[in-house]
Structure 1
Amino acid sequence: MRVVIQRAENAKVVVEDKIVGEIDQGLVVLLGITHDDQMEDAAYLAYKIANLRIFEDENAKMNLSLKDVGGKVLSISQFTLYGDTRKGRRPNFMNAAKPEYALALYQQFNTLLESEDVFVETGQFGEMMRVQFTNVGPVTLLLDSRER
């Protein structure tokens, strides 16, 4: 699993002009799933995201986690994180998991985040979405469950 996390304020995801998920403070999480990702990949990333110390304390040092600040997650499934652009001009997405498999693992990932006492809002799997937010910091990190 690959994930892009961005520290965010006022984040929302819109599908067909309707807000389907919204948070005030926390992280926007873009999650990519490949064919052989498993539950342990989801568990690793959920724990890591909930506990990463990437929020500032009273001394402006990144010492606080999402849980420490009571932040929320806006979780978006994004198959394009497994896009391969090495050949040609059009990305291929052969490394992205099939939708049925990806949906099940995406839902498990969100449940695991919630089990870490994190409030989770989501986009709509498989839909064209518009994600809007302010990246605070800016803080943007890339995590891959294979790089533990």
Structure 2
Amino acid sequence: MPENRRVAPAKAPPASAPEHGGAREGRGTAFSATPSSRVSPSADRIEGCVVYEELKRRIVASKFIDVLRQEMRFDEDEYARLVVHLEGLAQVMKTRGSLDKELALHLYLIPQMTRNAFLSYTDRTRDSAIASQLEDAWVDLDALVIECLT
């Protein structure tokens, strides 16, 4: 080691510091388990990304369109879950700047496939109960997707 170079001695951690390097008790940080009134913007971004990814996963995995296409049945439970996920995505997208291509494709296809199913039912019978459900769902899903994109 060169003679003109000094190395500062290592400082011992303060007595109030936790043993394993976590946050001090009573002083919250973005990565501590203690509540804090000051959370860093990067922590908000990370949380927003996690929420976005989870909503994306749930929207992509939704069985509403599959059941509609394969069984020609309107699954009300799947529809209700899809609406909740789209509403959540609309909230997340208010602070997020963009969405990825896979999710954009699904957002485009969901109302379109619902519309196509509606049109196939209205061609067969004008008084079908499922046709009116599909029409309402198509309009609602289209509006939710527009809300997600704006």
Q: Does 1 or 2 have the higher relative contact order (CA < 8 Å, sep 6+)? A: 1
TM-score, normalized by the shorter chain, greater than 0.5: no
Normalised to the residue count of structure 1, the TM-score between the two structures is 0.28
Q: Answer 1 or 2: which has greater helix percent.
A: 2
Larger radius of gyration: 2
